[in-house]
A = this chain, B = another copy of it.
Amino acid sequence: MSEQPIRFAPPGSAQDVEEGRQFTPRFDAGGLIVCVVSDARSGELLMVAYMNAEALARTLASGQAWYYSRSRQRLWRKGETSGHTQRLVELRTDCDQDTLWLKVEQAQAGACHTGRRSCFYRAVALDATPPAPLMLKFDDEAQVFDPAQVYRKHDDPKA
């Protein structure tokens, strides 16, 4: 991999950003861009993660999804520990180019480090409003793999 910082073309005018044909991803003050990740075949929302410019460049170069972990402050390739890699099928951007949408082919059973196919296995019960406690309902909660088997004790528990 290059040691040079990766640079994408900087955003132009609002008109250019919204109606133009140049990809000018808008990273936030911390250098990150939010990524919505869905299953290319089923359309299911799998996870949301972040990329910095290098993660995006590696993803484009390799066709495999790379992200940047805010908590661990490092690049990670999805599946580097678990084998649950993601092959990039389509990359979309939104009107102001500050969000990416990856459609991926998810290897193995699941995208979520808890063992589920998707990270979104709980819904908020909509029959209470604050300050009443808001509760979650589990659905789509079946584990498709055992995290204790996939991630060993000293492994990075999300990669």
The answer to whether A94 touches B61 (Cβ under 8 A) is no
Interface size on A, residues (CB 8 A): 50
In angstroms, how far is the closest chain B Cβ from the Cβ of A100? 8
Q: Please, which residue of chain B has its CB at the minimum distance from the CB of A99?
A: B48
With A36-B36, A48-B94, A48-B99 as known contacts, state yes or no: A9 contacts B123, CB within 8 Å: no
The answer to whether A48 touches B23 (Cβ under 8 A) is no
The answer to whether A23 touches B135 (Cβ under 8 A) is yes
A101 interfacial contact with B, CB 8 Å: yes
The answer to whether A92 touches B120 (Cβ under 8 A) is yes
A74 interfacial contact with B, CB 8 Å: no
Q: Please, which residue of chain B has its CB at the minimum distance from the CB of A128?
A: B60
In angstroms, how far is the closest chain B Cβ from the Cβ of A157? 9
In angstroms, how far is the closest chain B Cβ from the Cβ of A26? 11
In angstroms, how far is the closest chain B Cβ from the Cβ of A124? 4
A34 interfacial contact with B, CB 8 Å: yes
The answer to whether A91 touches B123 (Cβ under 8 A) is yes
With A36-B45, A60-B126 as known contacts, state yes or no: A133 contacts B90, CB within 8 Å: no
The answer to whether B8 touches A134 (Cβ under 8 A) is yes
Partner of A129, one of B22, B38, B57: B57
Cβ of A138: which chain B residues have Cβ within 8 Å of it? 21
0 or 1 for each of A52-66: is its CB under 8 Å from B? (1 = yes): 000001001101000
The 6 closest A-B pairs by CB, nearest first: A23-B134, A94-B119, A91-B124, A48-B99, A92-B120, A95-B119
